Chain A
Amino acid sequence: MIKKIALCIVFVFMFMGTAFGELRVVVTLPWIGSLVNEIGKYRVHLDVIVKATQDPHFVEAKPSMILAVRKADVLMYNGLDLEIGYLPVLIESSRNQKIQSGMAGNVDCSRYVKVIDHPDKVDRSMGDVHPFGNPHYHFSPKNIERVAAGITEVLSRLDTGNADFFRKNMAVFSSKLHGKESAWKAKHFHGKKVIAYHKLFEYLAADFGLTISGYVEPKPGIPPSVAYIGRLIEKMKEERIHTVITTSLYPRKEVDFIADKTGARVIVLPHDVGSMPEIVDWFTLMDTVLTRLQ
């Protein structure tokens, strides 16, 4: 009996350590996929769970997602509770040891980020706030460079044979980013005031000198009331705010109404890689965002 148990345990561990070829990377959001592409290129197999047409706050778990996560060697996600509504279910249902929390294949990308907007105190009367700080850090080149570096490290650790390849790609990514950065810096907005739909662009504002003076949503995840819109229009007139920024995910009704009443320009920004046909990677995402904001 005891022999059998011991044998069984041995077999279990043997099986856990099966060797693999190409590293299978599963990511939640398209922009993370873009970074993995930059670093891993053709030497990793990439699956992206969330479509660019989906609002990352409201993704629902689907059995097909479990299939992807089941095969993953590494799972990379945005973190800061952005995926709280579906990722825990996927991780548990995947029965995949490698990507359980605490394992090397479970990579919360926000761990490499300097988080802003960390609320001192949270309760849900404040709306569906992100309790660990603003999770939309993918508009911040500084943070993205750190995340890419983190991704490089994880990939190199899990696939030591390709570590040099990954590190070389990271160096190329880094220098491309630094090159871009000086061009982007030239587009500094010098405190230009805008109204945003959701707290999606706080990192962009911090890095590029944009002032977000108000939001179309009164609180995160809460649609505006007529009275609130009225007050917002007053504020825009008083403070001479001529721009409303939004994404294709948010309803246009209120935004168009505000634009109509104030004469403000509505700028629709892409929220992620793939949300517009010309946005094929993270660089074109940033290019488009900054160009459209001009």
Chain B
Amino acid sequence: MKILLFLLMTILALCPTVSAETLEERVKNLENALNRQEQIIREQQKKIEQLSGQKEQIQTEVIQTTGVDSREKERSAVRDYRLDDRSKAIAMQSASPISPYQITEKQTPSLLNPSISLIFDSLYYQTNLSEEELEEREIPGYVALHEHGEGSHSHGHGTFEKGFNLRSAELTIFAPVDPYFNLYATIPFTEDGSEVEEAYFVTTSLPAGLQIKGGKFKSGFGRFNAFHPHAWDFVDAPLPYTAFLGGEGLIEKGIQFTYLPPLPVYTLLGFEILQGENEVLYGEEAKSGPHAYTGFAKMSLDFGEYNTILWGISVTGGETKTESIEHETEFSGNSVLYGAELTYKWKPSKDRSLILQSEYLLRHQTGDFEYLEDSTVDSLKRTQDGLYLQGLYQIDRWRIGARYDVLSIFKDTYKLAGEEEDFGDNPYRLTGSLEFNPTEFSRLRLQYTYDKSAGNGKENNEIFLQLILGIGAHGAHSF
């Protein structure tokens, strides 16, 4: 209820107040408009009757287009259209206004059926680590890969199996509901079953550049977060996202308000109220009801014909209860995650492009750290950060990529019961990739990653060979 009220208040606040006078005026205008409309319809009806009578005659008429005054010309042009069975169309569209040129307006079938697509995402994975070492791999001081839930195969970092992997076959359905709502659903099928990854509506017709998104959706936090795994620039998520949000990013039930102000520079402001179920940052047991909030501001500018830059800042914060920090422990307290993003795109033609992208994330967490075995409680206060830098260069159907992602780059404090803990070397990785994209609907990717994210643990040399195929509707690409 509170949310509803809030929603209404926002709309209210953003709508310009209308005085009683203009209200009256508007009603009067509306009345006049209605009257006019009625008259038009009457005239229209008359015309239609005339037309149906003339139809046969017109079809054999020879038309001269050499009239001198423009009225004459216009009339002859009108007849031209009537010639090819347009008169039939006019007669049928009795509601259409005064149109001499009116012709059959057909609906595109794509408007009537939902767009459905299926995206297949599979890979072959090889590493120097054993299956056991892989399973036990974690990022010390950040996340422990806890073995709860069988279905956590696809949950990001280090969870690929050696050999063949089927990441998912992802079903996406989209259609406008009516002129006011669009509806989306994304349902990835994995070997462990299926889940509704996203299902949300988006309003299209709120006034003043407002938009509401609701349901379960990928948060507008940061840049990388919005993309589905098959649309990622590399096989896996960058370290800061894995460390602070888990392998899938921030996907939450909730509501999002965005505002596109009428400025000469693209600016998008957003605010979200979220349930707060992300297992790494929040946790559904932290509090019943929504307990996480997100805000973001994004901007973009074009330079010349071929260059675009996008930048933005985001913040998400809320109450936390998670078992993901260390084994056999539970943390409850508060978390805030800050993000800054910068992307540069150069695209002189369809055969060539360069994208440079970077994001910086900083997470601040304070609360109680409980050891589940003996129920002792310590205070935990940690402020840690991470960064990734990546570049992708495309020539024709080929694309090469490089990425550097790192944690604890500028800030790393981890105070347990007031004592600073040391987890060894800064976690980082180096990645290189080569893609071949036969068409827009297929992608073959070879990726090598040198992974030094396990602190003083073993380094991981990973090779991925990934194949992504899409069938069905041609989805529009986000920017």
Which residue from B206, B305, B349 sits with its C-beta under 8 Å from A12?
B206
Count residues on chain B whose CB falls below 8 Å from chain A CBs: 72
Q: A112-B103, A124-B471 are in contact. Are A63 and B308 (CB under 8 A)?
A: yes
Let me know if A100 and B300 touch, CB within 8 A.
Answer: no
Within 8 A of B (CB), among A62-106: 62-64, 66-67, 70-71, 79-81, 84-89, 91-95, 97, 100-103
Which residue from B8, B101, B108, B308 sits with its C-beta under 8 Å from A108?
B108
Interface of A is mostly: helix
Inside 8 A of B176's CB, which chain A residues have their CB? Answer: 100-102
Q: How far is the CA of A229 from the CA of B104 in the complex (A)?
A: 42
A interface residues (Cβ-Cβ under 8 A, vs B): 1, 4-5, 7-8, 11-12, 14-17, 51, 53-55, 57-58, 60-64, 66-67, 70-71, 79-81, 84-89, 91-95, 97, 100-103, 108, 110-112, 124, 127-128, 132, 145-146, 149-150, 152-153, 157, 167-168, 170-172, 174-175, 178, 221-223, 251
Chain B residue nearest to A88 (CB atoms) is B476
Q: List 6 A-B contacts (CB under 8 A).
A: A1-B5, A17-B26, A55-B349, A80-B108, A95-B210, A97-B206
Q: How far is the CA of A8 from the CA of B5 in the complex (A)?
A: 11
Q: How far is the CA of A168 from the CA of B67 in the complex (A)?
A: 13
B325 to chain A, nearest CB (A): 38
Q: How far is the CA of A171 from the CA of B110 in the complex (A)?
A: 34
Which stretch from B9-17, B125-133, B216-224, B244-252 is at the chain A interface? B9-17
Let me know if B439 and A146 touch, CB within 8 A.
Answer: no
Which stretch from B53-61, B74-82, B151-159, B405-413 is at the chain A interface? B74-82
Rank and list the top 10 A-B pairs by shortest CB-CB distance, nearest first: A149-B101, A97-B205, A63-B300, A63-B266, A58-B350, A171-B74, A15-B207, A174-B77, A88-B476, A171-B73
A265 to chain B, nearest CB (A): 25
Inside 8 A of B208's CB, which chain A residues have their CB? Answer: 15
B354 within 8 A of A: no
Inside 8 A of A87's CB, which chain B residues have their CB? Answer: 476
Let me know if A64 and B439 touch, CB within 8 A.
Answer: no
Q: A55-B350, A172-B70 are in contact. Are A97 and B476 (CB under 8 A)?
A: no
B interface residues (Cβ-Cβ under 8 A, vs A): 5, 8, 11-12, 15-18, 23, 26, 65, 70-71, 73-74, 77, 80-81, 97, 99, 101-111, 176, 178-180, 182, 202-211, 260, 262, 264, 266, 268, 300-302, 305, 308, 310, 347, 349-351, 396-397, 439-441, 471, 474, 476-479
